[in-house]
């Protein structure tokens, strides 16, 4: 399996009446279809139910950001399956962030994940030494069985079908993804990141921070869905009324 050097991070909700349908579509059609694209390494689905946060987080690992400009990926975005076209109408609070991995510590995928967005509002270059930050965070998180930390520097890449719902201020943005194998450690993960940020010199701290917390749902690797042609749409699973207005 290729080592991912970039990430595509996605948050979204969906109309409550379509949650069960969304879970089937996203698990059985949409994520496998995306991960089929050459250059995608994996796609992992997460679900969170904490009040005030977006319900779903999806993390795609990429060999590089270049795959988001490939004809295969552009075709998926421009020509969605019937079920995908229907589901786009029911998406809520959509947020898409792409970027390169600038630091990584640990290697074990966890059962839970804290996704922390951080924005530096001043001139570029105020962010900390990310490899040292990631290594220190992993050590701090040992009591919570923190198993992996990755830092994604946000840069725009690839086509986007749905506009971002983004309330963050403009600035230099990074995303910290901290994982633990202990499902009970979900809140502790975010707390570890907060303490690490608070320990930075005032001039190095972000001006805006946003936390979200998720539990692992499922994962698809590129090798699981690799094929010469785009996967066929799952019309057999699509509800008869999926294209009907609410």
Domain-embedded: residue 68: yes
Given this model, what pLDDT does residue 147 score? 98
Mean local confidence (pLDDT), 160-169: 95
**Angle at Cα 24 formed by Cα 18 and Cα 27, nearest 5°?**
125
Question: How far is the C-alpha of 192 from the C-alpha of 160, rounded, in Å?
Answer: 33
**Average pLDDT over all residues of the chain:** 95
Residue 246 has pLDDT above 50, yes or no: no
Question: How far is the C-alpha of 55 from the C-alpha of 47, rounded, in Å?
Answer: 6
Take residue 216 and report the two structure tokens written for it: 């692992």
Residue 244 has pLDDT above 60, yes or no: no
CATH assignment at residue 86: 3.30.70.100
pLDDT digits (tens, 9 = 90+) for 35-89: 999 999 999 999 997 888 999 999 999 999 999 999 999 999 999 999 999 999 9
pLDDT digits (tens, 9 = 90+) for 86-140: 999 999 999 999 999 999 999 999 999 999 999 999 877 889 999 999 999 999 9
Domain-embedded: residue 236: no
pLDDT digits (tens, 9 = 90+) for 6-25: 999 999 999 999 999 999 99
Domain-embedded: residue 237: no
130-140 vs 186-198: helix crossing angle, rounded to 10: 130
Domain-embedded: residue 246: no
Given this model, what pLDDT does residue 123 score? 76
| Of 89-98, 196-205, 215-224, the least confident | 196-205
Residue 181 has pLDDT above 50, yes or no: yes
> Alpha helix (H) ranges present in 31-178?
31-35, 71-78, 82-88, 130-140
Domain-embedded: residue 1: no
Burial (CB count within 10 angstroms: exposed 0-12, middle 13-18, buried 19+), residue 235: exposed
Return the sign of the alpha-carbon dihedral for residues 27, 32, 33, 35: positive
Place of tokens 């959509």: 94
Domain-embedded: residue 245: no
Domain-embedded: residue 243: no
> Alpha helix (H) ranges present in the chain?
19-25, 31-35, 71-78, 82-88, 130-140, 186-198, 222-225
Q: Provide the domain limits for residue 47.
A: 6-225
Residue 245 has pLDDT above 60, yes or no: no
Per the structure, the count of domains in the chain is 1
Residue 188 has pLDDT above 60, yes or no: yes
Q: How far is CA 125 from the centre of its chain?
A: 24
In contact, 75 and 38? CB cutoff 8 Å: no
Percent residues over pLDDT 70 in the chain? 98
In contact, 215 and 186? CB cutoff 8 Å: yes
Domain-embedded: residue 75: yes
In contact, 195 and 222? CB cutoff 8 Å: no
Mean local confidence (pLDDT), 206-212: 96
């Amino acid at each position: 399996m290729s080592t991912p050097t970039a990430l595509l991070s996605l948050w979204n909700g969906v109309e409550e009446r379509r949650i069960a349908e969304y879970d089937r579509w996203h698990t059985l059609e949409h994520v496998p279809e995306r991960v089929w694209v050459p250059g995608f390494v994996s796609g992992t689905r997460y679900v969170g139910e904490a009040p005030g946060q977006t319900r779903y987080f999806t993390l795609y690992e990429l060999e590089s950001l270049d795959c988001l400009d490939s004809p295969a990926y552009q075709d998926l975005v421009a020509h969605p399956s019937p079920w995908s076209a229907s589901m786009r109408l029911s998406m809520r609070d959509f947020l898409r962030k792409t970027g390169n991995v600038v630091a990584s510590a640990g290697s074990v995928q966890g059962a839970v994940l804290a996704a922390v967005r951080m924005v530096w509002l001043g001139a570029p270059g105020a962010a900390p030494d990310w490899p040292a930050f990631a290594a220190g965070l992993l050590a701090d998180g040992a009591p919570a069985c923190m198993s992996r930390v990755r830092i994604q520097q946000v840069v725009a890449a690839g086509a986007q079908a749905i506009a971002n719902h983004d309330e963050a201020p403009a600035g230099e943005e990074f995303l910290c993804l901290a994982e633990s194998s202990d499902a009970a450690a979900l809140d502790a993960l975010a707390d570890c990141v907060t303490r690490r940020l608070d320990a930075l010199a005032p001039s190095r701290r972000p001006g805006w921070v946003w936390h979200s917390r998720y539990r692992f749902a499922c994962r698809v690797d590129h090798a699981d869905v690799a094929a010469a042609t785009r996967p066929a749409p799952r019309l057999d699973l699509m509800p008869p009324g999926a294209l009907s207005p609410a």
